[in-house]
Structure 1
Amino acid sequence: MENEHVEDIIEKKIQSAADQARAEAKMHNTYVVYMDDDGFVVKEYPDGKIVRSAEE
């Protein structure tokens, strides 16, 4: 049960960092790079466009 609580805290911290990165990228008109759930490296642009590395 303690591990579930720790996992929830970690998940919230990760989500917060991702949200902050998106906000900063939008402010500077650039993109955020991360790995998606399928294992692809993607670029997410401020307009919401997402480009997988294999699609470039």
Structure 2
Amino acid sequence: MNPIKDLQKLIKLTGERAKLDAKANETYIVYKTAEGQIVKEYNDGNVIPVAEKEAPHA
């Protein structure tokens, strides 16, 4: 077993599960892009950057 590949697989599965939960609950997921921007992604594929004023402890 390769621990790095195992960890990458778990991370991918966690993200996929979050998307399924967001779809079931009609909500969104929040994540940080490769560029460092925090965004909300809705079930319809709409991705909206989170404004700094929205972050509670920026």
TM tier relative to shorter chain: 0.7 to 0.9
TM-score (norm 2): 0.81
Q: Quick one: which amino acid aligns to residue 47 of structure 1?
A: D
Say what the alpha-carbon RMSD is for the aligned residues: 1.3
Aligned to 1:9: 6
Partner Cα distance (2:35, 2:5) in 1: 22
- What SS does structure 2 have at the residue aligned with 1:26? helix
Task: Please identify runs of 4+ aligned residues in structure 1 that moved more than 4 A.
Answer: none
Q: Offset at 1:51?
A: 1.0
Q: Quick one: which amino acid aligns to residue 30 of structure 1?
A: T
1:17-28 alignment to 2 at 5 Å? 17-28=14-25
Percentage of matched positions with identical amino acids: 33
**Gapped regions of structure 2 (runs ≥ 5):** 52-58
Aligned to 2:26: 29
- What SS does structure 2 have at the residue aligned with 1:37? coil
**Gapped regions of structure 1 (runs ≥ 5):** none
